[in-house]
Structure 1
Amino acid sequence: MNRRPTPLTALALTAVAALTLSACGSDDDSTAKDSDKIAGADTGSEKSASPSPSAPDSGGRPKITFPSDAKNVFEYQKTGNAAKDAALADSTLSVNSVDEAIFTGDTGTKALGFYNTDKALSAYITYVQKYIDDGETWVGETRYFNYKVTLSGAKKAYVSYCSDESKSYIKNKKTEKVDRSPATANSYVLYNTSLTKNSDGIWQTTDVVSNRGNEACQP
Structure 2
Amino acid sequence: MNRRPTLLAAAAVTAAAVVSLSACGGSDGAGSKDSDKIAGSDSGTEKGASPSAKAPGDGVERPEIKLPKDVHNVFEGGRTGDPKKDAVLADNERWVNSLIEAVTVKAKDHPALKFYAAGDGLLSSAEYVQGFQKNKKSFIGTTRYYNRQVTFLKDGVAAVTYCQDGKKTYPKDLKTGAVDRSIKPSANDYTFFNTRVKKNAKGIWQTDSVTSTAGAKKCM
- Per the normalisation by structure 1, the TM-score is 0.81
1:186 corresponding residue in structure 2 = 188
Report how many aligned residue pairs link the two structures: 198
1:3 corresponding residue in structure 2 = 5
User: What are the equivalent positions in structure 2 for 1:64-103 lying under 5 Å apart?
Assistant: 64-103=65-104
2:146 corresponding residue in structure 1 = 145
User: What are the equivalent positions in structure 2 for 1:6-25 lying under 5 Å apart?
Assistant: 6-7=9-10, 9=12, 12=16, 20-22=37-39, 25=41
| Inter-partner Cα distance in structure 2 for 1:11 and 1:112 | 21
1:117 corresponding residue in structure 2 = 118
User: What are the equivalent positions in structure 2 for 1:128-207 lying under 5 Å apart?
Assistant: 128-180=129-181, 181-207=183-209
Contact preservation (8 Å) 1:107, 1:125: no
Contact preservation (8 Å) 2:51, 2:78: no
Go from structure 1 to structure 2 and tell me whether the alpha carbon gap of 1:17 and 1:66 turns closer, same or farther (over 3 Å shift): closer
Query: RCO higher in 1 or 2 (8 Å CA, sep ≥ 6)?
Result: 1
Deviations 1:80-133 (A, max 9, x none): 222211011100100000001001245841001000000010011000000101
- Unpaired segments of 5 or more residues in structure 1? 29-40
| Inter-partner Cα distance in structure 1 for 2:81 and 2:132 | 37
| Inter-partner Cα distance in structure 2 for 1:17 and 1:177 | 34
- Unpaired segments of 5 or more residues in structure 2? 18-32
- Per the normalisation by structure 2, the TM-score is 0.81
| Inter-partner Cα distance in structure 2 for 1:135 and 1:56 | 32
Go from structure 1 to structure 2 and tell me whether the alpha carbon gap of 1:7 and 1:18 turns closer, same or farther (over 3 Å shift): closer
Q: Name the aligned partner's letter for residue 61 of structure 2.
A: G
1:217 corresponding residue in structure 2 = 219
Which deviates the most, 83-92 or 148-157?
148-157
Go from structure 1 to structure 2 and tell me whether the alpha carbon gap of 1:187 and 1:19 turns closer, same or farther (over 3 Å shift): closer
Contact preservation (8 Å) 2:67, 2:104: yes
Contact preservation (8 Å) 2:55, 2:61: no
Q: Name the aligned partner's letter for residue 135 of structure 2.
A: D
Go from structure 1 to structure 2 and tell me whether the alpha carbon gap of 1:11 and 1:112 turns closer, same or farther (over 3 Å shift): farther
1:31 corresponding residue in structure 2 = none
| Inter-partner Cα distance in structure 2 for 1:149 and 1:21 | 10
| Inter-partner Cα distance in structure 2 for 1:86 and 1:17 | 27
Contact preservation (8 Å) 1:19, 1:193: no
| Identity over aligned pairs, percent | 34
Q: Name the aligned partner's letter for residue 41 of structure 2.
A: G
Aligned to 1:113, the other structure's residue is in SS state helix
Residue 18 (structure 1) shift: 9.1
Deviations 1:33-56 (A, max 9, x none): xxxxxxxx424xx602368xx435
Residue 2 (structure 1) shift: 2.3
